[in-house]
Structure 1
Amino acid sequence: MSNTATSSPTHRADLPKEQRVFRTDVHGLRGLAVFLVVIYHVFVGRVSGGVDVFLFISAYFLTGTFVRRMETGKPIAAVGYWGRTFKRLLPPTVVVTFAILAATYIFLPPSSYVPMLKDAFFTLIQGENWWLINQATDYYAADRTAASPFQHFWSLSIQGQVFLAWPLLFALLALVLKAWERRFPPKSQHQHNIRVWGTSGIAIGAITLASFIWSVIETSADQQTAYFDTFARFWEFGLGGLVAIALPLIAERTDTLHPNSPKGRPWRFALSMLGVLALVSMGMLVDVAGKFPGWLAIWPLSAAAFIMVMGYNPILSSKPLQKLGGISYGLYLAHWPLLVLTLQVLEIPKAPFWLGVVLVIASLALAWLITKFVDTPFRRWKWAGAKTHRSVAVALVTVAIGLTPVVIAQSVLDAKAKKLELAAEINNPGAEVLNDENLYDPTNDPNVTILPTEADLPNDWFDAGPPCQKEGAPDTKEWKGASCNTSRQGRITGNNMLVVMGNSRMEQTSAAILPTAHKHGWDVMELTAPGCAVGMNNHDRCEPFTTQATAYLLSLHPSAVALQTTYVDENGDEVVNQGALDIAAKLRDAGIAVIATRDIPRLKTNLSSCAIEHAEAPSENCVEEIDPSIISDRPDGEAIANGGFFALDLNQSICPDAQCKPIIGNTYVFLDERHVTATYAATMAGIVDDQLSNEGFAW
């Protein structure tokens, strides 16, 4: 590089002033973007585009920083940048993380502790978006009570990953430029700047284009993953970077489009407000669920770019929006956990208007506190910012302070869970006592706790895992209580997948199938809707679900499907389920193995409630006798044999010798009159394995 380009690194005479002014309009835009996120989360339940703009603005300033360093010949100093940036960003994150964990401990049940700690861990290491992908999180789920209070950290994690990668990109570009100018020295500072802009623009443009193409493809094929995917979001940062590079070129050719220019302010303001209107209206005009972050994300980003190019907007530069911009980081951190935890404590899926107003006001107050007492002190900490090693040390210590209690708590809970699991194998064998006469039965031991506990009993439903995320999966929102969940992490394929299809009674049977499937290296999917027995309840609600579920299975082509081919009606009578047999035949003809499961007994009383009421002698007071035919030969036996299906019958283990008892093997058998508990069903896994093995089922 020639002396012209390097000997005077502080000479900026020919650099556009745009790069040296504080953009109050952009600062206000940041505040508006985050406020839109809050309003849409609390009141609307749609995507606002505010997060996309927030990421866009971050990249705008980030790119501008490194472009100016390259222009003046300064080193990129990636480590110093990381230290200064994360010194400021991490302390508020740690404070909010601790606040969420404390609220979880105080207000939520113990079952939520482990998931929260895992979320906290990935939040602190800037990987929450990948953890949410691993958990197949549905960002668009209408019921916020099922959401994690850490879920909003997905965007900050992506931002953190970009903050780590961007300096490395510019360090590489600086090396390329240095080699180029060593061979072809620039004739002037301006020529050097043009090379900086060109090199940076080409590199960022290529990355942006590649990421955008990937975003469109992945959004179309697997939107739930795309929403949180760093690579599908990279183009939004890239676009912000391109704007940062383009604005100096625009300002160089006209002094009208310049933040400090008095020229054309009326029409610049009018056009800027069109950009604001476009941003604010997107979420109201278009329901973008399932479409982000594909091509539709161009809408809010184009609006933001338009506002930046105009360079003048007194509304965005007004004091209220400047204040909002000043607390925008704290507002984003605070609003989501406050909303989700409130809804979870109150057990309501959505906040009514009055509560929403309270939550917004409370979020603003918390944001002010976070900004004043955490964000600002660390940002203005001169000692820490004076030396690179100090800022890096502060960032690392902050992460350590956050991670240490999280990791310790996780270890303690894991050890406790392992201890309880080992104890349960001895103290709560459940159905296993029916198959092994030598196995100790602790049912009558007063010192042993019956599982599930009385507190957990009403909610002892089986859950196969995260929601399905494959195109064509039934939209379970259409059927109240319906679920399409799977134990398989990531992308769903049919290979080594066993799908349990049917009603909620069949759903509970999944708990008996899952351990056996995992033992053989398979996964389980539950595709169920309450009250919708496959082939029987063909009314307006269930028939569409069964039709769509069957079509999905034929498309997915799992290795096996389990469904009930008998049906026990409200009177306790068992009949052949011909509709299910017809569907089973379709699946068999498609090359899918079918497990013909027998429906379970229906009781007249809630035996578990009876056992709790008569705790001194439940076996004497709470036994219900059923029709012996329900545990004898199956009415669909001939159809199973002729159809080439595999039979599964758990009724003898549920009501041995037609005697339905509330407790077997120190485990509650029944959730209510119609369902077994997931805990007891899981103890029948060995029975499932034995029966399917005897049937010749090939795992």
Structure 2
Amino acid sequence: MVVTYHVFLDRVSGGVDIFLMISAFLLTLSFTRKVEEGRPLALGRHWLHRFKRLMPAAAVTIAGTLAAAWLWLPPSRWAAVLDQAWASVLYVQNWLLATTAVDYYASDDSLASPLQHFWSLSIQGQVFLLWPLVLAGGAWLSRRCGWRYRAVLAVAFGLVFAASLAFSIYETATSQAFAYFDTRARLWEFAAGSLLALALPYLRAPRPLGVVLGWTGVVAMLACGLVLPVGQSFPGSVALWPIGAAALVIVAGQTGSRLGADRLLSTRPLVGMGNVSYALYLVHWPILTVYLAVIGEARASLGAGLAIIGASVVAAYLLTHLVETPLRRAAWTEARRWRMAAVVAACLAVVAVPAAAWQAGIARTAQAAGVSGAATNPGALTLRTGVAGDASAPVLPLATQLDQQWVNLDHQCQGRFAPSDPILEQCEQTQVAGEPSKVVVVVGNSHAEQWMAALEPVARERNWQLVALLKGGCAFGEPTDPGQSDFCAGWLAAAKDYVLGVQPDAVFTVATAAAASAPDERQVTGYEQVVRELTGRGIEVVGVRDNPRFTHNMYQCVEDRGAAACEVPLEQALAPANPALPLATIPGLHLVDLTDRLCPDGVCRPVIGNVHVYLDDNHLTADYSATLAADMRDRLLAATGW
């Protein structure tokens, strides 16, 4: 079900939620049986056995995915894949993806990463460490207090279920992207499986009712991903649907009826698929995502999809019978704990050795490229001097350096520049010698941030105190303007209060907002109102024109097609005239326009002077922005008269 939804429907099915619930169901059955039969739990041995069972197939899959990424994915995606390889083998992939999902500055490759699916395995691995502690703690409490073991567990898992479900509903409503990968928001699904395992002996459905329950559960499971927007609404209360559907099938059990769903589910093909299901889950997603990346399409055709499923089943069969089963059945690995630990360590090495070697190679390449200077990679300086650079030198930044292309200042804001409102968490400042000649606060979104690579050298040269107050996605305008989003309004209000409190000599911000549906460029929402308020308080405002935004990733376009094929005419990227020009009459507002350095001769180029201009579809690289320092200085001083 999961594979079919991924390949053909490009949707989340709800099947993973069932997978999580069943894993806790089986784990609880096993531990309960041990306790009630008086056998030792031996947690250390249990954990080693569990991860010795899980890790071989996972490690081979991760290592194979690294090889596929090296062969077929563009270098701009290598760093993300390597980070996720480490996170996957260490069972923390869900936390990496949770952070990425809500990080404005993170690459969006996680949504199509060939290792994204390890998020659920990571949560499962974390629960496989936690659940035995709860089960063992319940056994200790039961013996000490004379309480029934199942009753103790029912209370414990009932509390986990209620608390986690309440938290999941809240977090899904407030931050669904983070909640989707948050272990805490998923614990209730495991607790549901444990509660079902404890209650199962008391749930005896008559045969006719069992037939109805079984088919109701199967139909509900299959329909969940079609009826509900699983990817956008889980794991809140709506995830009760697939969990409840699976519970109905389990409660229905073996009805013995010719009409029962269990007759279908017990057929040899489905049981055989169940035997390779873990490996199938592991391999299908890398095969699908790498294929789509190679052909450059968002979805596989019917024929390609069937081929992907066929290849995934074959790979899963081989992985199960050549790796997983032999190690699981090898008696010598179970004879001693150190042997199980050795298998786990070997699995870690299967991923760690190639990943570390690859990262070391990337670091050496980056170090070698770092010695390049203006002679080989002049960037925008080529438009001032006419020196084109060395065409044989690598174009900077390298694809593996893109995550380093966001601009940071020297220190967190401190002293008089430390914000009192915690919402202003992204506040940085430069260090100056003695008393600064001017205090300039850069306020706004990532498009204000990117210009700091050009502005910071000017500030250092002229001993200005530079302060950066930033929030991804929030261009600086009047927070009470009806056009401002609720996401930004609170931050914008705090930012304006901060500026009025600090009383800098000037505020540097972006005056316009370009659009990918170009040339729909306009003034930033509420910009005129906030400019008039600041200048009325004696604070000058420098408004830089926004850079073009595009419908495609400029960096990847150069990787795939070459720079010449990715050029965009200026008239398709920006408005014919700077939309902020009507505000030029406001005393204290100074407009700066560097469009000709981004789109010389009326053409927006992805590479200028052997430097990539854009790191994605709308942000300048820090490397290129830094080469604009001389132009920024000349035009800023000319506009302000400083």
**What TM-score do you get using the length of structure 1 for normalisation?**
0.67
**In 1, distance between residues paired with 2:513 and 2:194?**
62
Q: Deviations over 1:351-390 (max 9, x none)?
A: 1222212212221121111111111111111111233332
Query: In the TM superposition, what is the alpha-carbon distance from 1:79 to its structure 2 partner?
Result: 1.1
- Check 1:646–1:243 CA distance in 2 against 1; reply closer, same or farther (3 A cut): farther
Looking at structure 2, the residues matched to 74 and 669 of structure 1 have their Cα atoms a distance apart, in angstroms, of 65
Pick the aligned partner of 1:369 from 318, 333, 340.
Answer: 318
Partner of 1:294: 236
Among 411, 423, 434, the residue aligned to 2:360:
411
* Aligned-partner residue type, residue 585 of structure 1: E
The residue aligned with 1:197 is 150
**Matches of 2:361 and 2:612 in 1, distance apart?**
30
Of 48, 60, 67, which residue of structure 1 is paired with 2:13? Answer: 48
For the pair 1:683 / 2:627, whether they are aligned, the reply is: yes
> How many angstroms apart in 1 are the aligned matches of 2:606 and 2:116?
40
Q: Which letter does structure 2 place at the counterpart of 1:160?
A: G
Q: What's 2:193 paired with?
A: 240
Query: Aligned pair in 2 of structure 1 residues 359, 547: CA closer, same or farther (>3 Å)?
Result: farther
1:585 aligns with 2:531: no
Question: How far 1:646 moved relative to its partner?
Answer: 6.0
What's the offset of the Cα at 1:581? 7.0
Matches within 5 A, 1:543-582: 552-557=487-492, 559=495, 562-565=509-512, 580=523
CA contact (8 A) 1:129 1:154 kept: yes
CA distance in 1, matches of 2:99, 2:294: 26
Distance in 2, Cα, partners of 1:347 & 1:680? 28
Aligned partners of 1:232 and 1:293 also within 8 Å: yes
CA contact (8 A) 2:98 2:178 kept: yes
Q: What do the CA deviations read for 1:508-530 (whole angstroms, capped 9, x no partner)? A: x86434686999565563579xx
User: 1:321 is matched with which residue?
Assistant: 270
Tell me how far apart the structure 1 counterparts of residues 525 and 34 of structure 2 sit (CA, whole Å): 71
Does the 8 Å CA contact 1:442/1:448 hold for their aligned counterparts?
Answer: no
2:71 corresponds, among 89, 93, 106, to 106
CA distance in 2, matches of 1:225, 1:516: 34
Matches within 5 A, 1:389-428: 389-424=338-373, 427-428=376-377
1:38 Cα offset (Å): 0.8
**Are residues 175 and 589 of structure 1, via their aligned partners in 2, closer, same or farther at CA, if it must alter by over 3 Å?**
farther
Question: Would the aligned equivalents of 2:157 and 2:191 in 1 still touch at CA under 8 Å?
Answer: yes
The match for 2:298 among 339, 343, 349 is: 349
Which of 213, 220, 223 matches 1:271? 213
1:63 equivalent in alignment to 2:37: no
Shift of the alpha carbon at 1:431?
Answer: 4.2
Number of residue pairs the alignment of both structures matches? 541
Matched, 1:283 2:225: yes
Cα deviation for residue 565 of structure 1 reads: 5.0
**2:152 counterpart letter in structure 1:** T
Give the match for residue 214 of structure 1. Answer: 167
Which residue in 2 is equivalent to 1:512? 451
| Match of residue 332 from structure 2 | 383
Q: How does 1:328-347 map to 2 (within 5 A)?
A: 328-347=277-296
Change (3 A) 1:109 1:499: farther
- SS at 1:451 equivalent: coil
| 1:150 and 2:115 aligned | yes
Distance of aligned partners of 1:367 and 1:655 in 2 relative to their CA distance in 1, 3 Å threshold = closer
Q: Is the 8 A contact 1:82 1:164 kept in 2?
A: yes
State whether structure 2 residue 100 is matched by structure 1 residue 135.
yes
Deviation (angstroms), 1:427: 3.9
How much identity, in percent, do the aligned residues show? Answer: 32
Q: For 2:21 and 2:607, locate their aligned partners in 1 and report how far apart those are by CA, in whole Å.
A: 60
Pair 1:121–1:646, CA change in 2 (3 A): farther
Q: Does 1:179 align with 2:144?
A: yes
The answer to whether the 8 Å contact 2:563/2:607 transfers is: no
User: What does residue 4 of structure 1 align with?
Assistant: none
Give unmatched runs, 5+ long, in structure 1.
Answer: 1-35, 182-193, 258-263, 436-440, 466-491, 529-533, 535-545, 603-608, 614-628
Deviation at 1:408, TM superposition (A): 2.7
1:90 and 2:43 equivalent?
A: no
Aligned-partner Cα distance in 2 for 1:662–1:144: 24
1:499 touches 1:526 (CA, 8 Å); kept in 2? no
Q: Distance in 2 between matches of 1:67 and 1:196?
A: 8
Higher relative contact order structure (alpha carbons within 8 Å, sequence separation ≥ 6): 1
Separation in 2, partners of 1:119, 1:217: 28
Aligned counterpart in structure 1 of residue 472 of structure 2, from 513, 518, 525: 525
Contact 2:606 2:612 in 1 (8 A): yes
Q: Give the SS at the match of 1:198.
A: helix
Q: Equivalents in 2 of 1:214, 1:208: separation in Å?
A: 10
Deviations 1:6-39 (A, max 9, x none): xxxxxxxxxxxxxxxxxxxxxxxxxxxxxx1111
Q: Residues 637, 48 of structure 1: CA spacing in aligned structure 2 closer, same or farther, 3 A cutoff? A: closer
Instruction: Give the deviation of 1:630 after TM superposition.
Output: 9.5
Task: State the Cα RMSD in Å.
Answer: 4.6
Q: CA deviation at 1:160?
A: 0.6
Q: Distance in 2 between matches of 1:211 and 1:81?
A: 26
SS in 1 for 2:235: coil
The separation in 1 between residues aligned to 2:99 and 2:20, in whole angstroms, is 22
**SS across alignment from 1:46:** coil
Structure-2 change in CA distance of 1:512 and 1:101 (3 Å):
same
Query: Residue in 1 aligned with 2:184?
Result: 231
The equivalent residue for 1:121 is: 86
1:314-333 per-position Cα deviation (integer Å, ceiling 9, x unaligned): 11111111011111101100
Counterpart position of 2:585? 639
* Cα drift, residue 55 of structure 1: 0.6
Distance of aligned partners of 1:664 and 1:284 in 2 relative to their CA distance in 1, 3 Å threshold: closer
| TM-superposed deviation, 1:344 | 0.3
Alignment match, 1:472:
none
Provide the residue aligned with 2:40 in structure 1: 75
Tell me the distance in 2 between the aligned counterparts of 1:693 and 1:75.
78
Structure 1 equivalent of residue 253 of structure 2: 311
Cα offset, 1:70, TM superposition: 2.1
Q: Is the 8 A contact 2:532 2:586 kept in 1?
A: no
Alignment of 1:616-631 (within 5 A): none
TM-score, normalised with respect to structure 2: 0.72
Counterpart Cα distance in 1 of 2:34 and 2:302: 49
CA drift at 1:170: 2.2
